Amino acid sequence: MESRKTSPANYWTYTSEKIFSEIGSGPNGLTESEAKKRLGTYGKNSFGSSQKVGGIVLFLRQFANPITIILLFASALSWFLSDPTDGIIIQCIVLLSSILGYWQEKSASDSLHSLLSMVRLNASTIRDNVEAELDSQSLVPGDLIRLRVGDIIPADAYLIDSDRLFLDEAAFTGETFPVEKTPGLLPEETALSKRSNLLYMGSHVVSGSGLALIYATGKHTQFGEIYKRLNERKPETDFEKGIRKFGNLLLEITLGLVLVILGINILLEKPILDSFLFALAIAVGLTPQLLPAIININLAKGAKQMSQKKVIVKRLNSIENFGSMDVLCSDKTGTLTEGVIQVHTSVDPNGNQNQNVLKFASINSNLQSGFQNPMDLAISKAWPISPDTISKSGELSYDFHRKRITVVVKIDGKRTAICKGACTPLLEICDRYLDSEGCIQPISEAIESIQQVYETFSQQGYRMIGISIKEIGENDPLDYEIESSMIFIGFVAFSDSAKVGIQDTVRNLGDLGIRLKMITGDNRWIAQQVAKSVGISSATVLTGQELQSIGEEALRVKAEETDVFAEIEPNQKQRIILALKKAGHVVGYIGDGINDASALHSADVGISVDSAVDVAKEAADIVLLEKDLAVLLDGVKEGRITFANTLKYVFMATSANFGNMFSVAGASAFLSYLPLLPKQILLTNLLTDLPEMTIASDEVDKDWIIRPRKWDIKFIGRFMLVFGFLSSLFDYATFGLLLFGLGANETQFQTGWFIESVVSASLIVLVIRTKNVFYRSKPGKLLLSATLLCIGFVFSIPYLPLAETFGFGRLPLLFYGYLLGIVVFYIGSAEFAKYIFYKRER
């Protein structure tokens, strides 16, 4: 049964009595009969089996795009013409491309399975006032669960009681520190990551224990929201959008040409069947048959090159998006920073550096018996001591209300209490302070300056704790009275320092046209400080609370203007990504937690790291073997090289094919025979495409790498028209030479134009592959060799046994002399046209 959602109440604002009443439960938990009834109402505490598309349907869906449909039509035409070779080649290309697409869609579902596997567990549940281990799938709203060290939270729950309960929520919030959870109501405006009385499915208990009331299960949990977003079809990326628009452009042009050519041939009273087959051959000739193969070869080479640079590509299409990326959103901890909490400094109440403060802090951290958080570990590393050298006589453990911990030790024969804790609660128990001269003074004289020191360091992005001490008598009881009339001695400041070389990396990303935006759950002061330290110059900060009140249209503008997003809740990350995409950007996102999965899923390029949780790695397109933005730089360059080489083929195929087909259409109007036989058109297309199989190894000019590029269908259309018509102009020159200069018959005309068409189309690649003069931009060795071999083969065709099969005949030697002049003049004209074209496009 489909579960019914519980009321979306703000449970963090409730008392335990109110939430018991709201959920319909009590301190003894539910009865078994009530639990069974609720299981029928709300459904299992699981995400159910997602609506999976069958394997066959998923595979067939890969063929539903314009280019593939045209190619399948071309294959059918080849078989119909009793020429299965081209048909087999086309079918193999389409099959390879479709298998790749099938694999990519199938792999997307793996993230869901990884997500589900994380919550298959048992839970200590109280029913009928009896505690027992139950399968977590049988839990329902109203169940009471007992939590202990190592437990994974099985559902979203409200904390009823706790004893020094700390949870690791890093996968959700990105927060390095374990979070203390305590009962009690909170203000309405409390952010999700700050709701200390709520526990979220998928987080786990680091220390302490607790009792909690489940209020949401399955798909209605925060974890379930991530699941639902991952279960959505991945948004269309910029590259996929470009391919789709390109396919539609070809489809429109192809349909128009077919109708025009078919009409002309019928009006000239040529055989209808031959005219129809000829029109279909024209349609096939206009189609870049090897585009899927060229793309796959380019992507495979790019993936191999990137793997050598510690960038693993999971989804090949993401390489093109990687090169087009102009915005990179990154988390903070471990990516921009080292991800390791360190002691920055210790200062006295006046803000002057004082190592004595760190010494007392280290005694407290090393001798406490409770859980050592990352700040304790940092203190111990900065000032190592051996606990055996100091005699400890007692401890007042940390709790949420006091927010401090006190240990009692003997120092120089004197019994001393050392208290460490949050600054405000600690200052409340101090009536004196130790000044810079080592003299004890009334704290009332300096409280404002002490607060100023705290605020100054906080605004610089440092976390702060306070230290106070007090000598006590040998017989004084160990109770909370010790924490009074203490002497405040100073602060310890902590930092998560920026990664070495990160400023150079951020600058290099900027040089490549990529704007870095930081998204973090930390407060705005820490976020601003880290942004400044890594080289993000923008001072504008948008907080999660501010983001809640912004509409979608306004967010598109704000997201573009803002480079630092602070205090961001997990579900807001995806919203930022989608806003940037709607603003026209190709967006990359790097993250490694459960809370990053939906943002990774929605980005054009989802980037994770090898050490990330499985869900994040499955949702990502690219996985870094090192959590370092520097390794992205080479990856971005490879992506742009791959994209550039793909566009080279598109430019060549569309302009040459369009020119040839326009020439065929014109020639068919005044010739009494077909200017090229259907199988000759297919062979022309195949031979001009084959050298392009090596385009992946071609050299790429620097101007293709220094800035991101996107699919620009209008630009491609203009390029196709300019260079297509130029190609067609020289085709007509060839027609004139053959008809009036050489008096060619039908076979000679078809042979001569076939040779000129393939030779000119092959050589023009060397011109249009670069914006520079062609001889100043060195082509790849494989591309040059393949081009020359193709030309040599074309010249030999009239003298080979297959000439008769394709309807070719021999030509007088004079033709080849004229052909040389036409080709040279064509290349020169193309260079001039290219210069004018790019000058106008600036």
Catalytic residues: 331
| SS3 of residue 812 by DSSP | coil
The residue among 652, 753, 641, 643 whose CA lies nearest residue 701 is: 641
The amino acid at 450 = I
Q: Is the dihedral of CA 741, 747, 750, 756 positive or negative?
A: negative
Q: CB-based contacts of 17: which residues, under 8 Å, 6+ apart?
A: none
Beta strands, E only, 657-763? none
The residues, ordered by sequence, that sit 6+ positions from 716 with a Cβ below 8 Å of its Cβ are 246, 249, 650, 651, 654
Q: Please choose, from the candidates 138, 61, 139, the residue with its C-alpha nearest in 3D space to the C-alpha of residue 99.
A: 61
Picking from 596, 593, 602, 619, the residue whose alpha carbon sits closest to that of residue 109 is: 619
Determine which helix (DSSP H) or strand (DSSP E) holds 406, and give its type and residue range. strand 404-411
The whole-angstrom separation of Cα 252 and Cα 171 is 48
Nearest to 514 by CA among 502, 505, 525: 505
Kindly state the helix (H) or strand (E) to which residue 40 belongs, with its residue range. Answer: helix 32-42
State how far the alpha carbon of 681 is from the alpha carbons of 74, 664, 790, 815, in Å: 11, 10, 16, 21
Six token digits for residue 451: 């607060």
- Give the Cα separation of 210 and 566 in Å (integer): 30
- Spatial separation of the C-alpha atoms in residues 650 and 562, rounded to whole Å: 36
Residue closest to 657 by CA, chosen among 283, 295, 280, 292: 283
How far does CA 351 lie from the centroid of its chain? Answer: 43
Helices 630-670 & 291-307, crossing angle to 10 degrees? 170
User: Which of 595, 547, 838, 594 has its CA nearest to residue 719?
Assistant: 838
| Two structure tokens written together for 614 | 């499985």
CA distance 117 to 123: 15
- E strands, 629-740, are none
Identify the CA nearest to 330 among candidates 626, 17, 73, 596. Answer: 596
Which tokens sit at 381? 């590393």
How many degrees, rounded to 5, is the angle at CA 584 between CA 583 and CA 589?
85
Closest alpha carbon to 621 in 275, 252, 318: 318
